A = this chain, B = another copy of it.
Amino acid sequence: MINRARVAVVGVGNNISALVQGIAFYRDSGSLVGIRRPVVDGLGVGDVDIVAAFAVSDEKVGADLTDAIFMAPNNYPRIGAGLPPSGVRVQWGLTDETGIDRVAQALAGAEVVLYMAPSGRPEVARAYAEAALRAGVAFVNATSDVVARDPHLLDRFEAAGLPLLGDDLTSQFGTSIVHHALLGLLEERGLTLVSSYQVNLGGTEDFRNLTQHGGSKMVSKLNALTGDQATKDKVQIAPLGYLSQLASEKVVYLNVEAQSWGGSPVSLDVKLKVHDPSGGAGVTIDLIRMAVGALRGGRGGYAAEAAALLKSPPGTAH
Contact = CB atoms under 8 A, between A and B. Distances in A.
A278 interface: yes
A318 interface: no
A245 B195 contact: yes
A231 interface: no
Contacts of A264: 18, 34, 79, 274-275, 278
Contact of A190 (B37, B189, B236, B273): B37
B197 A199 contact: no
B173 A266 contact: yes
A271 B251 CA distance: 14
Interface string A18-41: 100110011000011111110000
A269 interface: yes
A249 B265 CA distance: 9
B282 A33 contact: no
Query: Chain copies in the assembly?
Result: 4
Given A185-B177, A201-B197, A234-B245, A272 B263 contact: no
B190 A282 contact: yes
B278 A273 contact: no
A172 B191 contact: yes
Give the bracket for the number of chain A residues in contact with chain B: 35 or more
B241 A199 contact: yes
Contacts of A34: 190-192, 258-264
A285 interface: yes
A281 interface: yes
A253 B269 CA distance: 10
Contacts of A271: 267-269
For A25, A197, A236, A238, which residue has the most chain B Cβ atoms within 10 angstroms? A238
B253 A278 contact: no
A278 B260 CA distance: 7
Given A189-B172, A192-B33, A253-B199, A79 B282 contact: no
A244 interface: yes
Interface string A209-251: 0010000000000000000000000101011011111100001
A279 interface: yes
A79 B172 contact: no
Contacts of A236: 243-245
Contacts of A245: 195, 197, 234, 236
Contacts of A273: 265-268
A186 interface: yes
A83 interface: no
Interface in A41-89: 79
Contacts of A269: 269-272
B22 A261 contact: yes
A195 B249 CA distance: 13
Interface of A: 18, 21-22, 25-26, 31-37, 79, 172-173, 177-178, 181-182, 185-186, 189-192, 195, 197, 199, 201, 211, 234, 236, 238-239, 241-246, 251, 253, 255, 258-275, 278-279, 281-282, 285
